[in-house]
Amino acid sequence: MRIEVNSLEELSKVAECIKKSDKNIVILSGTLGSGKTTLVKEFVKSLGLKDEVTSPTFAIQNVYDDTVFHYDLYNKGVDEFLALGMLEELERNGFHFIEWGEDLEDILKTYGFEYLKITITAEGAKRIFECQS
């Protein structure tokens, strides 16, 4: 599914797409500044949670209300993610957003995890969200 977004308010369309999916693991793919963390922020807001969403770049994982789990593999990479036992975190109930998780895809498949992949492309102020399960 392809969703064009021209404003923060329109991110609700992407949030609804995620909620309607039968997948609770979401790999977010896109360049720096494309809107990966902004999407998680709007998703958390769409659930009515009051948590402040920030990029987990240095922490590797942020948890919001024990419902939304937000990972960033940019600095630590897949090996560190696995060494820290984070793969087991994906079994927890809730939504799991993984930024820069493209290298994790084969491992997820090997262990039987299903996921939704959202590729974000920036076109000026507009963002294109491609959702693939």
Paired tokens of 1: 């599914």
User: Please, is 127 exposed, middle or buried when counting C-beta atoms within 10 Å of its C-beta (0-12, 13-18, 19+)?
Assistant: buried
Q: What is the pLDDT of residue 59?
A: 87
Q: What is the pLDDT of residue 100?
A: 95
Q: What is the pLDDT of residues 110-123, one digit of tens each?
A: 999 999 999 999 99
For the domain 10-121, what is the CATH superfamily, name and number? Answer: P-loop containing nucleotide triphosphate hydrolases (3.40.50.300)
Q: Over pLDDT 90: what percentage of the chain? A: 91
Q: What is the pLDDT of residues 12-63, one digit of tens each?
A: 999 999 999 999 999 999 999 899 999 999 999 999 999 999 999 888 999 9
Total Cβ atoms within 10 A of residue 46: 15
pLDDT reading at 124 higher than 90: no
Contact 107, 17 (CB under 8 A): no
Q: In the chain, how many H helices and how many E strands?
A: 5, 7
Contact 24, 12 (CB under 8 A): no
pLDDT reading at 6 higher than 90: yes
The domain locations on the chain are 10-121
Q: Tell me if the pTM is above 0.85.
A: yes
Q: What is the pLDDT of residue 69?
A: 98
Note the Cα 33 to chain centre separation in Å.
14
